[in-house]
Structure 1
Amino acid sequence: MIYLFPAWQQENYNMEYDPILKLVKIFQHMKEDAQLLLMSYMPFLRYKIENFSLPYWSAFDTIQKIDILTGVPLMLSDLSFPEESEFLYTPKGVVILQEKKKFANVQYNEYGCIEKIYYYQTSLFKVENFDDRGFLSSVEEYQEEKLKKRSYYNEFGEHTLTEYFFPISKVVIEKFGVKGFSKEVYSSINEVLLEALQQKLQQKKEEKQKLISVYQPYLVQILHSLVQQEKITWLIQQNQSFFSLEENEHFNVLEKSERILCDTKCMREKFLHWANENLLSIEEKVESIPFYDLELDLGESNFVQEMLLYVKVNSLNAFKERFIDLLLKKLIENESYYLLITTDSLELEEMIQQKAIQLIDTYFDIDSTSSDFKKTLRYVETKRMQKLLKQDEEAVEHLRKTPLWKQLVAAINVYERLEYRRVFHLYQIRELFKKTRLYIELDEATNFQMQLLALSVGIPQMTRNQFDFVFHKENGILYDEECDLEQEVDYYLKHLANWNQSLIRNIELLEEYDLEKISERWQVVLNGEKN
């Protein structure tokens, strides 16, 4: 049996990027028995994994003494509130008033279900967390907005466990709590979770077991005591930081590991450099092996005249601003170019947008906030849609006789080929990449998942970091602040032969990382051999 420890969290965690899910797919293809061991508190777990067929064991279900596997989330009508409560409905939930003062705030999650209820007196003093199987999962009590304790419940509403945070940190197994544990009072929740896990592993001790975990601080803190009895294989991901733990936790876990697997050769080199700096003799344990397979899913950008440049940027500096200015100037000069700029924040998007407006308006000597621009824009749009009205024609009649007209129309043409988006889901990115001619990554840190998507769609990419799948002027451009940016951009946009060669190289790489070949490599790992 293969036991996998994912680093899932209830909030702010995108399952699409998870390496464990991709490993499960590989093991299922290999006909290997695998089970997920979940160590995080995730009362809305089932909604998060509903699109995946995954056998799992939840440590929190065990210590909360929860036995049911399915259920239906609670609705507002299932809950009771004081009489004369006033309900104010908002886009994100329901605010409940008592005597015109805020009494509670019902928070709905991304699935449209009640996830939490915040209760207030003079300030926040209680939070209820609900399980997607239809019951109250825990209650958090606050003192002066500082978390004092968290009480856990099972599906019958029975109080099973209490976690105290101050004045003394401890965890107490309550009257209706789980039986058969070694103590009634523990120093931390991690200690309780570890005992639940040890009992779980002991039940199947006669079977051959292999433990594989993502190397993540929360999991290391729970599992570092387990490495005295069990050999664990740790997974290190591209761009992962492994510097955030105490040295003794790091060193003990790594030295006693069975293997340390990095998802790229570049990451293996980076990790070994860190290990050598810290005098860790673990080189023989460290290997590189993909945690994923790559599938060919070619786009259509080479069949259309429009050339879309997909730019990802999450911060600005002088160099990035200079690069964006260059792309905007190329957009102005070439009517077949389209520019899509994606960011993670509205604030950054608006900042880039204002700089672009200033550049474009200055170039054409127009004011895009003026009434002349707005009238011209309406004329152009309605004429294109064949919905032009006489009043729209009359509104621009005087403008069409002036030199300003051509400048306004030209500026509108540029603005129509410039788009801003905040894209978070891989399926959205994949669809956009299918129409993209060149992917440009402006940030210093590589977005590994997006690079893999660009590879699978077959498009070249510009990146500032070397990694296993991008080779300079074979299927992409490795650039820095000293290079000739315009020349590098033009390499794929103005030379179709280079673009076609990049496509061929991407297909060759995809063949090396198909499901069958990756499965063969993982079989070597499971057999205890070296790749």
Structure 2
Amino acid sequence: MYYFLPAWYRGDQSWNSREQVWFRQSQHGFDDTINQVRMFTRSGQPSALLVPVYFPNLRHFAYQQGIYEVPRLAVFDYLQGIPADLPIVNLDYHDFAWPADANYVYNPFTVTVFSKDQRYAQLSMGPEGNLIVMDLFKNDQRYRQLDFDDRGFVSRVSEYNEQQQLVRQAYLDHLGNEQFYVAADGQVHIVGVAHLARHQGIYPDLRSLITEQFTQFVQEQIQPADLVVAAADPFHDQMLGQVIPNDQLVMSYFGDRAALTEPAEAALAQRAVLTIADSNYNQKRLEASGAKVLQLPPLDTRLSLGISNQERLLKIMLLIDGLSASALRVVLEIIMKTMNENELIDLTLLTFRGGQRQAEIEALVAELDERLALTDQYTFNQVEAAAAENQLADDLDAARENARKRDIHFVTVSAEPQLIQAIHTTRLLIDLSPHPDVFLQIAGISAGIPEILRAESLYVEDGKNGRLLQNVTTDLAPAIHFYLDGLKNWNTALVHAANKIADYTSGRIVKRLQAAIKEGR
């Protein structure tokens, strides 16, 4: 059995899961664990998720990511006494016991309930309209927050004082019975006596309770032949090192999630039977620490060729993540000058980090448009990923109707299907960050799209399915012309991408990983 342990933490040094309220989501919806689980299940390997984080909307998240059928073993489900086979009950907030004079006010983000002309409650929803959180108010001050489990019950109750400081956080079972609570000083008090009888009454913090329960699970459930493939993350790595035997632990390094700067982090990588690196950058860091390393993409390729060669526009997609303000200025200036030479070139700026840089980019485009004094006028235009393809397809007609005005688009992507859709009509990908995004590279290979990089990568070969720049200032414009001036070079890249697809299918990736683990053990 393969147990996959994710790092789905919020990033605030708590055991809370990633933000599930749809308008606050700012992280990749996809990561190495999600895609490793997909690949192993597609290959018929027995797999399960081992989830140490508090994740009351885990089922919705698993469904969105296409891993709903994978068994889930959640530490908090056991601690809260929630049965594994509990049926799902759909909640409708209209059925709650609201005051008789309750008035609902709707906006794209929340539902606010007013009573006696004062704010009574505020409800926040998930991407599919499921209820995530309810905040309750007195005198327009929040005094209580309810977290809803997607199976249809209140899972956690948080109490706040007048200074909006958290003073008590109670975790409930599916019947509303309190099982344990975290006090203002961080201590955990056990209240439920049935399934928690073996636990001591008070713990110094939540980590101590979770570590104890995690240790119990590993000792009782994981067999000597089983493997735990864990997403490397400083937040839980110490616990993994204490509990999981070295010859059963595989560590997966994705992006910059684990820095390997602390001696304990490097020691854990050395002890693991194998480490998986998603990029050249992580592979070099792991090799320097003395770990056994296998570089594999965190997702597989599936032939889904784009249709950019059927489009009138020559669409460039530039990933802005990882580019400093000064670097982005240089790159945008070069691309805008190149666009000015050809009315068919269209530019979309892509980010996986929400709209954090939207205002910065809008101002930058306006500044460059004024300073460069180009023939065409360039404006900033944000589009949704889902609508990007349809909108961009009409740009040439719009440009001809309104001569000299051209949009530079901005698209935010948070899930793999959105990325696949966003690049479907793209002719050329550009990622000039020091550590290029692996998901974008694999998506480009699957769609047969060449990519321009300035850092070496296992997945993009210079002159074959992309170009590797030595100097952005002098080399970027020629590289763009290389792929947009006619189809010869683009078709060559398409052929090389198609050949690479066979190397990164689920079956081959899983076999390579299994062989490396066998050798390491």
Asked if TM exceeds 0.5, the reply is: yes
| Aligned residue number for residue 317 of structure 1 | 325
Please give the secondary structure, in 2, of the residue aligned with 1:48. Answer: helix
Out of 150-159 and 115-124, give the one that drifted further. 115-124
| Aligned residue number for residue 454 of structure 1 | 444
Please give the secondary structure, in 1, of the residue aligned with 2:347. Answer: strand
| Aligned residue number for residue 471 of structure 1 | 461
What is the correspondence of 1:230-309 to structure 2 with a 5 Å cutoff?
231-243=248-260, 247=262, 249-273=264-288, 275=289, 282-283=290-291, 285-309=292-316
Q: Find 1:503's aligned residue among 491, 494, 512.
A: 494
| Aligned residue number for residue 217 of structure 1 | 234
1:96 aligns with 2:108: no
1:355 aligns with 2:367: yes
Please give the secondary structure, in 2, of the residue aligned with 1:160. Answer: strand
| Aligned residue number for residue 186 of structure 1 | 203
Letter in 2 for 1:519: V
| Aligned residue number for residue 36 of structure 2 | 23
Letter in 1 for 2:343: E
Please give the secondary structure, in 1, of the residue aligned with 2:176. Answer: coil
1:6 aligns with 2:14: no
Aligned partners of 1:154 and 1:102: how far apart in 2?
A: 29
For these two proteins, the number of residue pairs brought into alignment is: 480
Please give the secondary structure, in 2, of the residue aligned with 1:363. Answer: coil
Contact 2:274–2:516 under 8 Å retained in 1:
no
Greater RCO, 1 or 2 (C-alpha within 8 Å, sep 6+): 2
What is the correspondence of 1:47-446 to structure 2 with a 5 Å cutoff?
47-50=60-63, 51-52=66-67, 53-67=69-83, 68-121=85-138, 123-143=141-161, 144-166=163-185, 169-176=186-193, 178-204=195-221, 208-227=225-244, 231-243=248-260, 247=262, 249-273=264-288, 275=289, 282-283=290-291, 285-314=292-321, 317-343=325-351, 344-345=354-355, 346-355=358-367, 357-358=369-370, 362-364=373-375, 412-416=402-406, 418-446=408-436
TM-score, normalised to structure 2, is: 0.83
Letter in 2 for 1:58: A
Aligned partners of 1:513 and 1:147: how far apart in 2?
A: 47
Please give the secondary structure, in 2, of the residue aligned with 1:80. Answer: coil
Please give the secondary structure, in 2, of the residue aligned with 1:250. Answer: helix
Contact 2:171–2:179 under 8 Å retained in 1:
yes
Letter in 1 for 2:505: D
After TM superposition, give the deviation of residue 364 of structure 1 in Å: 4.2
Q: Find 1:483's aligned residue among 474, 477, 491.
A: 474
Contact 1:266–1:468 under 8 Å retained in 2:
no
Q: Deviations over 1:6-33 (max 9, x none)?
A: 1223413767522222222332244321
Aligned partners of 2:377 and 2:459: how far apart in 1?
A: 44
Q: Which segments of 5 or more consecutive residues in structure 2 lack a partner in the other structure?
A: 9-16, 20-24, 380-393
Q: Find 1:33's aligned residue among 41, 46, 51.
A: 46
Aligned partners of 1:469 and 1:228: how far apart in 2?
A: 33
| Aligned residue number for residue 399 of structure 1 | none
Contact 1:306–1:336 under 8 Å retained in 2:
yes
Aligned partners of 2:376 and 2:448: how far apart in 1?
A: 39
Q: Is the alpha carbon distance of 1:519 and 1:498 closer, same or farther for their aligned partners in structure 2, counting shifts above 3 Å?
A: same
Q: Deviations over 1:158-177 (max 9, x none)?
A: 111111242xx211110356
Cα RMSD of the aligned pairs, angstroms, is 3.0
Contact 2:278–2:438 under 8 Å retained in 1:
no
Q: Is the alpha carbon distance of 1:205 and 1:220 closer, same or farther for their aligned partners in structure 2, counting shifts above 3 Å?
A: closer
Percent of aligned pairs with the same residue?
21
Q: Is the alpha carbon distance of 1:229 and 1:140 closer, same or farther for their aligned partners in structure 2, counting shifts above 3 Å?
A: farther
Q: Is the alpha carbon distance of 1:128 and 1:58 closer, same or farther for their aligned partners in structure 2, counting shifts above 3 Å?
A: same
After TM superposition, give the deviation of residue 43 of structure 1 in Å: 0.8
Letter in 2 for 1:292: L
Q: Is the alpha carbon distance of 1:175 and 1:422 closer, same or farther for their aligned partners in structure 2, counting shifts above 3 Å?
A: closer
TM-score, normalised to structure 1, is: 0.81
